[in-house]
Amino acid sequence: KNEVEQSPQNLTAQEGEFITINCSYSVGISALHWLQQHPGGGIVSLFMLSSGKKKHGRLIATINIQEKHSSLHITASHPRDSAVYICAVLPGNQFYFGTGTSLTVIP
């Protein structure tokens, strides 16, 4: 059993749609990260959360520590948002990663 579960695994959306990606974890954590990985491997850190909610442009990330659940929302999705989105949690100094959600936004 993975410590971090993401859903859905794959997601196709029309440009402009509101998108939600979910992450559940089973360990106590000090922080949760949302990462974006484009084809070819490059990873960009989008958010680091330990409580509440953060917003950056069209991206919003929320976390509920009691329920061990986080969501990443993308408003007004765009084809350039197409990427794999990975949730990673930090129980100590070792990251546990989800397997990622592959998002494709169609023009």
| Site for other proteins, rule CB under 8 A | 4, 30-31, 33, 35, 40-45, 48, 50, 86, 88, 90, 92-100
CB of 73 to other proteins, least distance (A): 20
Contacts of 63 (CB under 8 A, 6+ apart): 32, 49, 50, 51, 52, 53, 69, 70
Contact call for residues 19 and 104 (beta carbons, < 8 A): no
- Closer to other proteins by Cβ: residue 17 or 102: 102
- Closer to other proteins by Cβ: residue 60 or 90: 90
CA distance 29 to 37: 22
CB of 43 to other proteins, least distance (A): 4
CB of 17 to other proteins, least distance (A): 25
- Closer to other proteins by Cβ: residue 1 or 14: 1
Closest by CA to 59, choosing from 75, 43, 37, 48, is 75
